[in-house]
Structure 1
Amino acid sequence: MNIPQTTKDNITDGETISIAAQVLQHRTFDDGNTQVQLQDIEGQEFLLKIWDGDLPDFEFRENEWILLEDALGDIYNENVNVGSNYGDIQVTYLESPPSSVDRDEPDDTATDSTEQTGGVVALDIETISTVPEAEFEFDNSDHLELLCIGVGYAPYQGAPGTSRTLFRSGTTDVSEAALLQQFCDYVESHTPSHLVTFKGDFDYQHLIGRAERLSEIEPDLSTRVRGLFTEHDWTNLDPWGSLEDNADVSKTHWDIYEHSLTPAEWRKDHPRFDGDPDDPIVYNVDVPYFGQRYLEFTEQPESGHREQRALHELLRHYTVADIDPLFELLD
Protein backbone atom coordinates (compact mmCIF):
# COMPACT_ATOMS: atom_id res chain seq x y z
CA MET A 1 0.00 0.00 0.00
CA ASN A 2 1.27 3.47 -0.87
CA ILE A 3 1.15 5.31 2.46
CA PRO A 4 0.83 9.11 2.22
CA GLN A 5 3.61 11.06 3.92
CA THR A 6 1.36 13.94 4.89
CA THR A 7 1.53 15.32 8.43
CA LYS A 8 -0.43 17.60 10.73
CA ASP A 9 1.23 20.56 8.98
CA ASN A 10 -0.53 19.59 5.74
CA ILE A 11 -4.03 19.79 7.24
CA THR A 12 -6.00 22.71 5.78
CA ASP A 13 -9.32 23.97 7.08
CA GLY A 14 -12.25 22.78 4.97
CA GLU A 15 -10.14 20.59 2.64
CA THR A 16 -9.91 16.81 2.55
CA ILE A 17 -6.70 14.99 3.35
CA SER A 18 -5.32 11.46 3.50
CA ILE A 19 -2.97 10.92 6.42
CA ALA A 20 -1.46 8.01 8.35
CA ALA A 21 -1.60 8.27 12.14
CA GLN A 22 -1.22 6.28 15.32
CA VAL A 23 -4.18 6.02 17.73
CA LEU A 24 -3.19 7.36 21.16
CA GLN A 25 -6.58 7.49 22.84
CA HIS A 26 -10.25 7.51 21.90
CA ARG A 27 -13.54 8.14 23.60
CA THR A 28 -17.20 7.92 22.56
CA PHE A 29 -19.46 10.36 24.39
CA ASP A 30 -23.06 9.91 25.53
CA ASP A 31 -24.35 11.69 22.42
CA GLY A 32 -22.66 9.13 20.14
CA ASN A 33 -19.85 11.40 18.96
CA THR A 34 -16.27 10.10 19.12
CA GLN A 35 -12.95 11.88 19.54
CA VAL A 36 -9.69 10.16 18.69
CA GLN A 37 -6.31 11.55 19.73
CA LEU A 38 -3.83 10.77 16.94
CA GLN A 39 -0.13 11.17 16.26
CA ASP A 40 1.27 11.70 12.76
CA ILE A 41 4.48 10.22 11.33
CA GLU A 42 6.51 13.10 12.82
CA GLY A 43 5.08 12.67 16.31
CA GLN A 44 2.70 15.66 16.15
CA GLU A 45 -0.67 15.16 17.86
CA PHE A 46 -4.07 16.13 16.50
CA LEU A 47 -7.72 15.15 16.96
CA LEU A 48 -10.13 13.25 14.76
CA LYS A 49 -13.76 14.17 15.46
CA ILE A 50 -16.40 11.67 14.32
CA TRP A 51 -20.02 12.73 14.53
CA ASP A 52 -22.65 10.19 15.56
CA GLY A 53 -23.42 7.76 12.72
CA ASP A 54 -20.55 8.80 10.43
CA LEU A 55 -18.37 5.73 11.07
CA PRO A 56 -20.58 3.13 12.77
CA ASP A 57 -18.60 -0.07 12.15
CA PHE A 58 -15.02 0.91 12.90
CA GLU A 59 -13.41 0.05 16.24
CA PHE A 60 -10.38 2.11 17.25
CA ARG A 61 -7.51 0.32 18.99
CA GLU A 62 -4.93 2.30 20.91
CA ASN A 63 -1.31 2.28 19.67
CA GLU A 64 -2.35 0.90 16.25
CA TRP A 65 -1.59 2.77 13.01
CA ILE A 66 -4.46 3.73 10.72
CA LEU A 67 -4.90 5.41 7.37
CA LEU A 68 -7.47 8.21 7.10
CA GLU A 69 -8.76 8.96 3.61
CA ASP A 70 -10.99 11.92 2.79
CA ALA A 71 -10.84 13.34 6.32
CA LEU A 72 -11.97 16.98 6.47
CA GLY A 73 -9.58 19.59 7.86
CA ASP A 74 -10.96 21.59 10.79
CA ILE A 75 -8.74 24.43 12.06
CA TYR A 76 -9.79 27.20 14.44
CA ASN A 77 -7.61 29.45 16.61
CA GLU A 78 -4.58 27.33 15.68
CA ASN A 79 -6.25 24.13 16.96
CA VAL A 80 -5.69 21.59 14.18
CA ASN A 81 -8.23 18.76 13.86
CA VAL A 82 -9.81 16.61 11.20
CA GLY A 83 -13.44 15.53 11.01
CA SER A 84 -15.47 12.65 9.65
CA ASN A 85 -16.53 14.67 6.60
CA TYR A 86 -20.26 13.91 6.84
CA GLY A 87 -19.56 10.19 6.63
CA ASP A 88 -17.29 10.29 3.58
CA ILE A 89 -14.16 9.49 5.59
CA GLN A 90 -12.55 6.08 5.14
CA VAL A 91 -10.43 4.50 7.90
CA THR A 92 -8.34 1.34 7.53
CA TYR A 93 -5.72 -0.32 9.72
CA LEU A 94 -2.11 -0.54 8.60
CA GLU A 95 -0.27 -3.82 9.09
CA SER A 96 2.79 -1.96 10.38
CA PRO A 97 3.89 1.64 11.04
CA PRO A 98 4.83 3.63 7.92
CA SER A 99 8.46 3.09 6.91
CA SER A 100 9.19 6.78 7.57
CA VAL A 101 8.42 6.40 11.27
CA ASP A 102 11.51 6.30 13.47
CA ARG A 103 11.42 3.00 15.38
CA ASP A 104 14.39 3.20 17.71
CA GLU A 105 15.21 0.42 20.11
CA PRO A 106 13.65 0.89 23.55
CA ASP A 107 15.60 3.19 25.85
CA ASP A 108 16.70 1.26 28.93
CA THR A 109 17.08 4.50 30.85
CA ALA A 110 13.45 5.40 30.24
CA THR A 111 12.41 1.91 31.37
CA ASP A 112 14.37 2.31 34.59
CA SER A 113 12.73 5.72 35.15
CA THR A 114 9.29 4.14 34.79
CA GLU A 115 10.10 1.47 37.34
CA GLN A 116 11.50 4.02 39.79
CA THR A 117 8.84 6.72 39.67
CA GLY A 118 5.69 4.88 38.61
CA GLY A 119 2.74 6.36 36.76
CA VAL A 120 1.30 9.83 37.32
CA VAL A 121 -2.40 10.79 37.36
CA ALA A 122 -3.22 14.51 37.10
CA LEU A 123 -6.64 15.80 38.13
CA ASP A 124 -8.76 18.94 38.26
CA ILE A 125 -12.44 19.42 39.10
CA GLU A 126 -15.06 21.71 37.60
CA THR A 127 -18.20 22.55 39.56
CA ILE A 128 -21.62 24.16 39.39
CA SER A 129 -22.94 26.48 42.09
CA THR A 130 -25.94 25.69 44.27
CA VAL A 131 -26.24 29.18 45.81
CA PRO A 132 -26.14 32.71 44.34
CA GLU A 133 -22.60 33.93 43.63
CA ALA A 134 -22.86 36.64 46.31
CA GLU A 135 -23.41 33.91 48.93
CA PHE A 136 -20.84 31.44 47.61
CA GLU A 137 -18.21 30.21 50.11
CA PHE A 138 -15.22 28.43 48.57
CA ASP A 139 -14.73 26.04 51.48
CA ASN A 140 -18.37 24.96 51.78
CA SER A 141 -19.16 21.76 49.86
CA ASP A 142 -22.88 22.47 50.27
CA HIS A 143 -22.46 25.47 47.96
CA LEU A 144 -21.41 23.44 44.92
CA GLU A 145 -21.74 20.14 43.10
CA LEU A 146 -19.32 18.37 40.81
CA LEU A 147 -19.85 18.91 37.09
CA CYS A 148 -16.88 17.04 35.62
CA ILE A 149 -13.41 15.86 36.55
CA GLY A 150 -10.39 16.29 34.29
CA VAL A 151 -7.90 13.44 34.53
CA GLY A 152 -4.71 12.53 32.72
CA TYR A 153 -2.12 9.78 32.88
CA ALA A 154 1.60 9.58 32.15
CA PRO A 155 3.50 6.28 32.54
CA TYR A 156 6.28 7.97 34.50
CA GLN A 157 7.30 11.41 35.70
CA GLY A 158 8.66 13.43 32.80
CA ALA A 159 6.63 11.58 30.15
CA PRO A 160 3.86 13.40 28.24
CA GLY A 161 0.38 12.69 29.55
CA THR A 162 -2.88 11.71 27.87
CA SER A 163 -5.90 13.59 29.24
CA ARG A 164 -9.67 13.22 29.23
CA THR A 165 -12.74 14.64 30.93
CA LEU A 166 -15.13 12.55 33.02
CA PHE A 167 -18.65 14.00 32.86
CA ARG A 168 -21.61 13.74 35.14
CA SER A 169 -24.54 12.28 33.23
CA GLY A 170 -27.47 14.08 34.88
CA THR A 171 -28.67 16.45 37.59
CA THR A 172 -29.42 13.88 40.33
CA ASP A 173 -27.31 12.93 43.34
CA VAL A 174 -27.01 9.48 41.81
CA SER A 175 -25.30 10.93 38.74
CA GLU A 176 -22.84 12.90 40.89
CA ALA A 177 -22.02 9.79 42.92
CA ALA A 178 -21.50 7.86 39.68
CA LEU A 179 -19.04 10.53 38.51
CA LEU A 180 -17.01 10.08 41.70
CA GLN A 181 -17.06 6.31 41.24
CA GLN A 182 -15.88 6.77 37.66
CA PHE A 183 -13.06 8.98 38.91
CA CYS A 184 -11.98 6.37 41.46
CA ASP A 185 -12.13 3.66 38.78
CA TYR A 186 -9.88 5.74 36.52
CA VAL A 187 -7.21 6.27 39.16
CA GLU A 188 -7.30 2.70 40.43
CA SER A 189 -7.13 1.20 36.94
CA HIS A 190 -3.97 3.17 36.13
CA THR A 191 -2.26 2.19 39.42
CA PRO A 192 -0.18 5.41 39.64
CA SER A 193 2.42 6.07 42.29
CA HIS A 194 1.70 9.83 42.17
CA LEU A 195 -1.31 12.15 41.97
CA VAL A 196 -0.70 15.72 40.84
CA THR A 197 -2.85 18.84 41.13
CA PHE A 198 -2.31 22.57 40.64
CA LYS A 199 -3.23 24.51 43.77
CA GLY A 200 -5.41 21.51 44.46
CA ASP A 201 -6.61 22.18 48.00
CA PHE A 202 -9.97 23.16 46.51
CA ASP A 203 -10.11 19.94 44.46
CA TYR A 204 -9.18 17.74 47.42
CA GLN A 205 -11.58 19.41 49.84
CA HIS A 206 -14.59 19.16 47.57
CA LEU A 207 -13.91 15.68 46.20
CA ILE A 208 -13.99 14.55 49.83
CA GLY A 209 -16.81 16.92 50.78
CA ARG A 210 -19.13 15.89 47.98
CA ALA A 211 -18.39 12.20 48.59
CA GLU A 212 -19.35 12.64 52.25
CA ARG A 213 -22.61 14.34 51.32
CA LEU A 214 -23.49 11.46 49.00
CA SER A 215 -22.91 8.81 51.67
CA GLU A 216 -26.58 7.84 51.80
CA ILE A 217 -26.34 6.80 48.14
CA GLU A 218 -22.83 5.30 48.26
CA PRO A 219 -21.83 4.62 51.89
CA ASP A 220 -18.22 3.68 51.02
CA LEU A 221 -17.63 6.53 48.56
CA SER A 222 -15.96 8.92 51.01
CA THR A 223 -13.53 6.25 52.18
CA ARG A 224 -12.74 5.31 48.61
CA VAL A 225 -12.03 8.90 47.54
CA ARG A 226 -9.92 9.59 50.63
CA GLY A 227 -7.97 6.44 49.93
CA LEU A 228 -6.80 7.79 46.59
CA PHE A 229 -4.92 10.58 48.37
CA THR A 230 -3.56 8.44 51.20
CA GLU A 231 -2.51 5.44 49.11
CA HIS A 232 -0.65 7.52 46.49
CA ASP A 233 1.91 10.28 46.82
CA TRP A 234 0.09 13.56 46.21
CA THR A 235 2.05 16.43 44.62
CA ASN A 236 0.14 19.70 44.89
CA LEU A 237 1.93 22.17 42.63
CA ASP A 238 1.77 25.62 44.20
CA PRO A 239 4.06 28.08 42.40
CA TRP A 240 3.55 31.84 42.40
CA GLY A 241 0.71 32.93 40.14
CA SER A 242 -1.95 31.13 38.15
CA LEU A 243 -1.59 28.15 35.87
CA GLU A 244 -1.51 30.57 32.92
CA ASP A 245 1.40 32.40 34.58
CA ASN A 246 3.40 29.18 34.74
CA ALA A 247 2.46 27.22 31.63
CA ASP A 248 1.13 27.50 28.10
CA VAL A 249 -2.61 26.88 28.56
CA SER A 250 -4.80 26.41 25.50
CA LYS A 251 -7.63 28.98 25.55
CA THR A 252 -11.26 27.94 25.13
CA HIS A 253 -13.39 30.38 23.11
CA TRP A 254 -17.09 30.24 23.92
CA ASP A 255 -18.09 32.08 20.74
CA ILE A 256 -17.06 29.23 18.39
CA TYR A 257 -19.59 26.79 19.87
CA GLU A 258 -23.28 26.73 18.94
CA HIS A 259 -25.12 27.52 22.18
CA SER A 260 -27.72 29.99 23.40
CA LEU A 261 -25.77 31.50 26.33
CA THR A 262 -24.29 35.00 26.54
CA PRO A 263 -21.57 35.26 29.23
CA ALA A 264 -21.94 39.05 29.45
CA GLU A 265 -25.31 38.50 31.13
CA TRP A 266 -23.69 37.02 34.25
CA ARG A 267 -20.23 38.58 34.02
CA LYS A 268 -21.37 42.19 34.38
CA ASP A 269 -22.64 41.61 37.93
CA HIS A 270 -20.31 38.79 38.95
CA PRO A 271 -18.32 39.57 42.13
CA ARG A 272 -15.24 37.72 40.84
CA PHE A 273 -15.11 39.01 37.25
CA ASP A 274 -13.54 42.37 36.43
CA GLY A 275 -12.66 41.97 32.73
CA ASP A 276 -14.47 42.73 29.49
CA PRO A 277 -17.93 41.11 29.69
CA ASP A 278 -17.75 40.37 25.94
CA ASP A 279 -14.34 38.65 26.06
CA PRO A 280 -14.67 35.47 23.90
CA ILE A 281 -12.41 33.43 26.21
CA VAL A 282 -13.99 31.07 28.78
CA TYR A 283 -12.98 31.86 32.38
CA ASN A 284 -13.45 29.91 35.59
CA VAL A 285 -16.43 32.06 36.59
CA ASP A 286 -18.22 31.02 33.39
CA VAL A 287 -18.03 27.27 33.91
CA PRO A 288 -20.92 26.93 36.41
CA TYR A 289 -23.27 28.63 33.96
CA PHE A 290 -22.21 26.60 30.95
CA GLY A 291 -22.24 23.51 33.15
CA GLN A 292 -25.72 24.07 34.51
CA ARG A 293 -27.07 24.52 31.00
CA TYR A 294 -25.30 21.36 29.86
CA LEU A 295 -26.79 19.34 32.73
CA GLU A 296 -30.27 20.62 31.90
CA PHE A 297 -29.92 19.02 28.49
CA THR A 298 -28.91 15.67 30.00
CA GLU A 299 -32.42 15.46 31.43
CA GLN A 300 -34.05 16.20 28.04
CA PRO A 301 -31.50 15.13 25.40
CA GLU A 302 -33.91 15.11 22.46
CA SER A 303 -34.74 18.80 22.89
CA GLY A 304 -31.21 20.13 22.69
CA HIS A 305 -28.98 17.65 20.90
CA ARG A 306 -26.92 20.23 18.98
CA GLU A 307 -26.48 22.65 21.88
CA GLN A 308 -25.73 19.85 24.34
CA ARG A 309 -23.02 18.55 22.01
CA ALA A 310 -21.51 22.03 21.70
CA LEU A 311 -21.48 22.62 25.46
CA HIS A 312 -19.98 19.18 26.03
CA GLU A 313 -17.08 20.00 23.72
CA LEU A 314 -16.61 23.48 25.21
CA LEU A 315 -16.41 22.09 28.74
CA ARG A 316 -14.23 19.15 27.68
CA HIS A 317 -11.73 21.46 25.99
CA TYR A 318 -11.63 23.87 28.94
CA THR A 319 -11.08 21.07 31.46
CA VAL A 320 -8.41 19.18 29.52
CA ALA A 321 -6.54 22.46 28.95
CA ASP A 322 -5.99 22.64 32.72
CA ILE A 323 -4.70 19.06 32.87
CA ASP A 324 -2.23 18.89 29.97
CA PRO A 325 0.30 21.45 31.37
CA LEU A 326 0.60 19.66 34.73
CA PHE A 327 2.84 16.93 33.35
CA GLU A 328 5.31 19.48 32.06
CA LEU A 329 5.27 21.45 35.32
CA LEU A 330 5.88 18.25 37.27
CA ASP A 331 9.00 17.42 35.23
Structure 2
Amino acid sequence: MSTAPEPRTAFDIETINAEIPDDEEFDMKNSEHVEMFCICAAYQPEPAKPVDYEVFFREDSSPEAELDVIEETVQWLESKPGHTLLTYNGNSFDIPHLEERARIAAETIDRRFNVPERVESFLKGTGSVDLYPCVTDALGEKVQFEEACERFEIRVPETPLDEYEMGIDPIPQRPTYKGIEPVFKGCDVPVVGERYLKLADVGATDTLVFQEMRAALDHYATTDVTPLFELADRVPIVDAAN
Protein backbone atom coordinates (compact mmCIF):
# COMPACT_ATOMS: atom_id res chain seq x y z
CA MET A 1 0.00 0.00 0.00
CA SER A 2 1.51 3.33 -1.07
CA THR A 3 1.82 6.24 1.30
CA ALA A 4 0.10 9.47 0.34
CA PRO A 5 2.51 12.35 -0.34
CA GLU A 6 2.89 14.67 2.62
CA PRO A 7 2.40 18.43 2.29
CA ARG A 8 5.52 20.57 2.62
CA THR A 9 6.39 24.12 3.55
CA ALA A 10 9.44 26.22 2.70
CA PHE A 11 10.88 29.60 3.54
CA ASP A 12 13.74 31.95 2.79
CA ILE A 13 14.80 35.12 4.57
CA GLU A 14 16.10 38.36 3.07
CA THR A 15 18.23 40.54 5.32
CA ILE A 16 19.58 44.06 5.51
CA ASN A 17 22.81 45.08 7.20
CA ALA A 18 22.66 46.19 10.82
CA GLU A 19 24.76 48.97 12.30
CA ILE A 20 27.94 47.49 13.74
CA PRO A 21 30.93 49.01 15.55
CA ASP A 22 33.62 50.50 13.29
CA ASP A 23 36.19 48.05 14.62
CA GLU A 24 34.14 44.98 13.62
CA GLU A 25 34.28 43.36 10.19
CA PHE A 26 30.89 42.55 8.71
CA ASP A 27 29.99 38.88 9.08
CA MET A 28 26.83 37.70 7.33
CA LYS A 29 26.58 34.72 9.68
CA ASN A 30 26.59 36.94 12.77
CA SER A 31 23.01 37.76 13.74
CA GLU A 32 24.22 40.98 15.37
CA HIS A 33 25.34 42.15 11.91
CA VAL A 34 22.11 41.58 9.98
CA GLU A 35 18.42 42.33 10.47
CA MET A 36 15.36 40.64 9.09
CA PHE A 37 13.85 42.56 6.17
CA CYS A 38 11.36 40.24 4.49
CA ILE A 39 10.56 36.54 4.47
CA CYS A 40 8.90 34.45 1.81
CA ALA A 41 6.97 31.42 3.06
CA ALA A 42 5.45 28.79 0.78
CA TYR A 43 3.27 25.70 0.96
CA GLN A 44 2.64 22.80 -1.39
CA PRO A 45 -0.04 20.21 -0.52
CA GLU A 46 1.75 17.52 -2.57
CA PRO A 47 4.32 17.26 -5.40
CA ALA A 48 3.27 18.83 -8.73
CA LYS A 49 0.45 20.76 -7.08
CA PRO A 50 0.38 24.59 -7.23
CA VAL A 51 2.47 26.35 -4.59
CA ASP A 52 0.80 28.82 -2.25
CA TYR A 53 3.14 31.53 -1.01
CA GLU A 54 3.31 34.90 0.68
CA VAL A 55 6.03 37.48 1.24
CA PHE A 56 6.02 39.20 4.63
CA PHE A 57 7.63 42.63 4.66
CA ARG A 58 8.98 44.58 7.56
CA GLU A 59 6.82 47.71 7.71
CA ASP A 60 9.44 50.07 9.18
CA SER A 61 12.93 50.05 10.69
CA SER A 62 11.82 49.47 14.30
CA PRO A 63 12.61 46.25 16.20
CA GLU A 64 8.85 45.87 16.74
CA ALA A 65 8.40 45.65 12.96
CA GLU A 66 11.18 43.07 12.75
CA LEU A 67 9.38 40.96 15.33
CA ASP A 68 6.13 41.40 13.42
CA VAL A 69 7.55 39.98 10.19
CA ILE A 70 9.01 37.01 12.06
CA GLU A 71 5.81 36.32 13.96
CA GLU A 72 3.62 36.66 10.86
CA THR A 73 5.82 34.21 8.97
CA VAL A 74 5.74 31.59 11.71
CA GLN A 75 1.99 32.03 12.14
CA TRP A 76 1.48 31.48 8.40
CA LEU A 77 3.69 28.37 8.37
CA GLU A 78 1.99 27.00 11.50
CA SER A 79 -1.38 27.31 9.76
CA LYS A 80 -0.30 24.86 7.04
CA PRO A 81 -0.45 21.09 7.54
CA GLY A 82 3.07 20.40 6.28
CA HIS A 83 5.53 18.66 8.61
CA THR A 84 8.59 19.16 6.40
CA LEU A 85 10.23 22.58 6.10
CA LEU A 86 12.46 23.05 3.04
CA THR A 87 15.33 25.54 2.86
CA TYR A 88 18.51 26.04 0.88
CA ASN A 89 21.45 26.54 3.26
CA GLY A 90 18.83 27.09 5.94
CA ASN A 91 20.74 25.21 8.63
CA SER A 92 23.60 27.68 8.39
CA PHE A 93 21.76 30.89 7.55
CA ASP A 94 17.96 31.19 7.55
CA ILE A 95 17.11 29.15 10.63
CA PRO A 96 19.83 30.51 12.97
CA HIS A 97 19.05 34.10 11.95
CA LEU A 98 15.30 33.57 12.36
CA GLU A 99 15.84 32.40 15.92
CA GLU A 100 18.52 34.90 16.86
CA ARG A 101 16.91 37.98 15.32
CA ALA A 102 13.67 37.18 17.17
CA ARG A 103 15.63 37.01 20.42
CA ILE A 104 17.67 40.16 19.72
CA ALA A 105 14.64 42.24 18.72
CA ALA A 106 12.65 41.10 21.78
CA GLU A 107 15.56 41.90 24.07
CA THR A 108 15.96 45.33 22.44
CA ILE A 109 12.41 46.36 23.34
CA ASP A 110 12.36 44.20 26.50
CA ARG A 111 9.05 42.56 25.70
CA ARG A 112 7.28 40.18 23.32
CA PHE A 113 9.50 37.30 24.40
CA ASN A 114 6.71 35.00 23.26
CA VAL A 115 7.91 35.52 19.67
CA PRO A 116 11.37 33.89 20.02
CA GLU A 117 9.71 31.18 22.11
CA ARG A 118 7.17 30.59 19.34
CA VAL A 119 9.93 30.42 16.72
CA GLU A 120 11.85 27.86 18.77
CA SER A 121 8.73 25.76 19.37
CA PHE A 122 7.80 25.79 15.69
CA LEU A 123 11.26 24.74 14.53
CA LYS A 124 11.48 21.97 17.11
CA GLY A 125 8.15 20.57 15.95
CA THR A 126 9.02 20.66 12.25
CA GLY A 127 11.29 18.40 10.24
CA SER A 128 13.76 20.74 8.56
CA VAL A 129 15.34 19.61 5.29
CA ASP A 130 18.24 21.73 4.07
CA LEU A 131 18.64 21.02 0.36
CA TYR A 132 22.11 22.55 0.16
CA PRO A 133 23.99 19.47 1.47
CA CYS A 134 21.71 17.27 -0.65
CA VAL A 135 22.67 19.17 -3.80
CA THR A 136 26.33 19.15 -2.77
CA ASP A 137 26.24 15.39 -2.36
CA ALA A 138 24.45 14.89 -5.69
CA LEU A 139 26.76 17.17 -7.70
CA GLY A 140 29.98 16.54 -5.81
CA GLU A 141 30.50 20.27 -5.30
CA LYS A 142 28.97 23.26 -3.54
CA VAL A 143 26.85 25.57 -5.69
CA GLN A 144 24.59 28.54 -5.07
CA PHE A 145 20.82 28.12 -5.25
CA GLU A 146 20.45 29.57 -8.75
CA GLU A 147 23.13 27.28 -10.15
CA ALA A 148 21.63 24.28 -8.38
CA CYS A 149 18.31 24.94 -10.09
CA GLU A 150 20.04 25.38 -13.43
CA ARG A 151 21.96 22.12 -13.05
CA PHE A 152 18.72 20.26 -12.29
CA GLU A 153 16.91 22.05 -15.15
CA ILE A 154 14.55 23.99 -12.94
CA ARG A 155 13.49 27.36 -14.31
CA VAL A 156 13.92 30.26 -11.92
CA PRO A 157 12.41 33.50 -13.28
CA GLU A 158 14.73 36.50 -13.18
CA THR A 159 13.79 39.92 -11.80
CA PRO A 160 15.02 42.42 -14.42
CA LEU A 161 16.02 45.73 -12.84
CA ASP A 162 14.86 47.77 -15.82
CA GLU A 163 11.27 46.61 -15.34
CA TYR A 164 10.97 48.46 -12.02
CA GLU A 165 11.20 52.20 -11.44
CA MET A 166 12.90 51.95 -8.07
CA GLY A 167 14.81 55.21 -8.25
CA ILE A 168 17.99 53.42 -7.21
CA ASP A 169 20.58 51.40 -9.11
CA PRO A 170 22.06 48.69 -6.88
CA ILE A 171 24.65 47.53 -9.43
CA PRO A 172 27.39 50.08 -8.53
CA GLN A 173 27.16 48.99 -4.89
CA ARG A 174 27.64 45.29 -5.61
CA PRO A 175 30.88 43.49 -4.80
CA THR A 176 32.90 43.21 -8.00
CA TYR A 177 32.60 39.43 -8.14
CA LYS A 178 28.79 39.69 -8.25
CA GLY A 179 28.97 41.19 -11.74
CA ILE A 180 26.91 43.85 -13.46
CA GLU A 181 24.10 41.73 -14.87
CA PRO A 182 20.95 43.93 -14.82
CA VAL A 183 18.84 41.50 -12.79
CA PHE A 184 18.02 41.59 -9.10
CA LYS A 185 20.52 39.61 -6.98
CA GLY A 186 20.67 38.69 -3.31
CA CYS A 187 23.40 41.26 -2.69
CA ASP A 188 20.99 43.96 -3.90
CA VAL A 189 18.49 43.33 -1.10
CA PRO A 190 20.35 45.32 1.61
CA VAL A 191 20.78 48.29 -0.73
CA VAL A 192 17.16 48.38 -1.91
CA GLY A 193 15.75 47.18 1.42
CA GLU A 194 17.39 49.94 3.45
CA ARG A 195 16.06 52.57 1.03
CA TYR A 196 12.63 50.91 1.21
CA LEU A 197 12.56 51.18 5.01
CA LYS A 198 13.66 54.81 4.95
CA LEU A 199 10.65 55.61 2.78
CA ALA A 200 8.40 53.53 5.04
CA ASP A 201 9.66 55.40 8.12
CA VAL A 202 8.53 58.75 6.68
CA GLY A 203 5.20 57.42 5.44
CA ALA A 204 6.09 57.48 1.74
CA THR A 205 4.48 54.11 1.05
CA ASP A 206 2.11 55.47 -1.60
CA THR A 207 4.91 56.73 -3.84
CA LEU A 208 5.67 55.03 -7.14
CA VAL A 209 9.27 54.36 -6.09
CA PHE A 210 8.17 52.58 -2.92
CA GLN A 211 5.58 50.48 -4.71
CA GLU A 212 8.06 49.52 -7.44
CA MET A 213 10.64 48.53 -4.83
CA ARG A 214 8.09 46.35 -3.09
CA ALA A 215 7.09 44.70 -6.37
CA ALA A 216 10.71 43.95 -7.30
CA LEU A 217 11.54 42.64 -3.84
CA ASP A 218 8.37 40.55 -3.75
CA HIS A 219 9.17 38.94 -7.10
CA TYR A 220 12.79 38.25 -6.20
CA ALA A 221 11.96 36.81 -2.77
CA THR A 222 9.36 34.51 -4.30
CA THR A 223 11.80 33.09 -6.85
CA ASP A 224 14.13 32.13 -3.99
CA VAL A 225 11.48 29.87 -2.45
CA THR A 226 8.93 28.41 -4.86
CA PRO A 227 11.53 26.37 -6.83
CA LEU A 228 12.56 24.58 -3.62
CA PHE A 229 9.72 22.08 -3.97
CA GLU A 230 10.77 21.01 -7.45
CA LEU A 231 14.39 20.86 -6.36
CA ALA A 232 13.41 18.61 -3.45
CA ASP A 233 11.68 16.25 -5.90
CA ARG A 234 14.79 15.94 -8.06
CA VAL A 235 17.54 15.69 -5.45
CA PRO A 236 18.05 12.63 -3.24
CA ILE A 237 17.51 13.67 0.39
CA VAL A 238 20.60 12.51 2.26
CA ASP A 239 21.29 13.20 5.93
CA ALA A 240 19.53 16.55 5.67
CA ALA A 241 16.55 16.10 7.95
CA ASN A 242 16.70 17.48 11.50
3-state SS, counterpart of residue 4 of structure 2: helix
Q: Quick check: which has more Rg, 1 or 2?
A: 1
- Aligned-pair distance for 1:127? 0.4
Alignment-derived partner of residue 124 in structure 2 = 230
Change (3 A) 1:191 1:305: same
Q: Which of 254, 274, 287 pairs up with 2:161?
A: 254
Higher helix share: 2
Which is bigger in relative contact order (C-alpha 8 A, separation at least 6)?
2
- Partner AA of 1:204 in structure 2: I
Alignment-derived partner of residue 208 in structure 1 = 99
What is the alpha-carbon distance in structure 1 between the residues aligned to residue 46 and residue 69 of structure 2?
26
What is the alpha-carbon distance in structure 1 between the residues aligned to residue 36 and residue 205 of structure 2?
24
Alignment-derived partner of residue 191 in structure 2 = 289
Structure 1 unaligned residues grouped into runs of 5+: 1-108
What is the alpha-carbon distance in structure 1 between the residues aligned to residue 78 and residue 54 of structure 2?
16
CA RMSD, 1 decimal: 2.2
What's the CA shift string for 1:103-141, capped at 9, x where partnerless? Answer: xxxxxx8xx614xx2x21110000000147992112211
* TM-score (normalizing by structure 2): 0.81
Structure 2 unaligned residues grouped into runs of 5+: 137-142, 150-154, 234-242
Q: Does 2:51 align with 1:161?
A: yes
- Partner AA of 1:197 in structure 2: T
- Partner AA of 2:69 in structure 1: L
Query: Does the CA-based 8 Å contact 1:159-1:327 persist in structure 2?
Result: no
What is the alpha-carbon distance in structure 2 between the residues aligned to residue 164 and residue 196 of structure 1?
15
What is the alpha-carbon distance in structure 2 between the residues aligned to residue 129 and residue 183 of structure 1?
20
- Aligned-pair distance for 1:262? 1.7
Change (3 A) 1:303 1:164: closer
Q: Which of 2, 5, 8 pairs up with 1:120?
A: 8
Alignment-derived partner of residue 60 in structure 1 = none
3-state SS, counterpart of residue 141 of structure 1: coil
Higher strand share: 1
What is the alpha-carbon distance in structure 2 between the residues aligned to residue 300 and residue 288 of structure 1?
19
Percent identity of paired positions between Structure 1 and Structure 2 = 28
Q: Does 2:88 align with 1:198?
A: yes
Alignment-derived partner of residue 136 in structure 1 = 26
* Residues paired across the two proteins, number: 214
3-state SS, counterpart of residue 219 of structure 2: helix
- Partner AA of 2:97 in structure 1: H
What's the CA shift string for 1:269-302, capped at 9, x where partnerless? Answer: x3xx41443x211111111001111111112234
Change (3 A) 1:187 1:260: same
What is the alpha-carbon distance in structure 2 between the residues aligned to residue 127 and residue 223 of structure 1?
21
Change (3 A) 1:157 1:223: farther
308-317 vs 191-200, which deviates more?
191-200
Alignment-derived partner of residue 14 in structure 1 = none
Alignment-derived partner of residue 77 in structure 2 = 187
135-144 vs 301-310, which deviates more?
301-310
* TM-score (normalizing by structure 1): 0.60
What's the CA shift string for 1:169-194, capped at 9, x where partnerless? Answer: 11101101111110111011113211
- Aligned-pair distance for 1:253? 1.3
